[in-house]
Amino acid sequence: MPAGHLSPRPLGSSGVDVSALSLGSWRTFEHLPAETGVAILRAAREEGISFFDDARYNDETGRAPIPTGYSEVLFGELFRGAGVRRDEVVVANKLWWEFWPGQSAAAELDASLQRMRFDHVDLVYANPPPAGRDRRAWRWPTWWPTSAGSSRRGRPARGAW
């Protein structure tokens, strides 16, 4: 790839810079040998990709040890196996509201972090919440992690949900 094509650029008005391309892992790594997944993540990082994306979904292989979220377990394992430094990249994840209202947005994100064995993600995408839900009833996390490893108090940025 020509030099500069993946150079960091602003992620909207977030104040965070990311590579021009993101490597997503939805419905990917469970279909590949682990060494191939590690090689993909390592090569992506070596080429300058600094933006990684993962999302929880239900097992489609019939081989996963858990029915949902094994994609996140694999992503975390491969990420560490590739030697990607967490402090050098931006990681995004997605909330699905699948278990709402029994599981809050904060609980869903916490479960994802536990499966990936990460202490934070830098960006959270979300489908629109279920129809008829009063936003005032949402249980937001009190603290939101930031890419600098610190936290800020309050709700996510306006428009993020």
Looking at the whole model, is its pTM more than 0.75?
yes
Is the predicted pLDDT of residue 36 greater than 50, yes or no? Answer: yes
Closest CA to 76 of 67, 68, 66, 86: 86
Give tens-digit pLDDT for 39-71: 999 999 999 999 999 988 777 778 888 888 888
How many angstroms separate the CA atoms of 17 and 11, rounded? 6
Q: Which helix (H) or strand (E) holds 61?
A: none
What per-residue confidence (pLDDT) applies to 100? 74
pLDDT digits (tens, 9 = 90+) for 65-95: 888 888 899 999 999 999 999 999 999 998 8
Going by pLDDT thresholds of 50, 70 and 90, the confidence category of residue 147 is very low
- Who wins on pLDDT, 47 or 103? 47
Instruction: Name residue 51's beta-bridge partners.
Output: 90
Q: For 125-133, what is the mean pLDDT?
A: 72
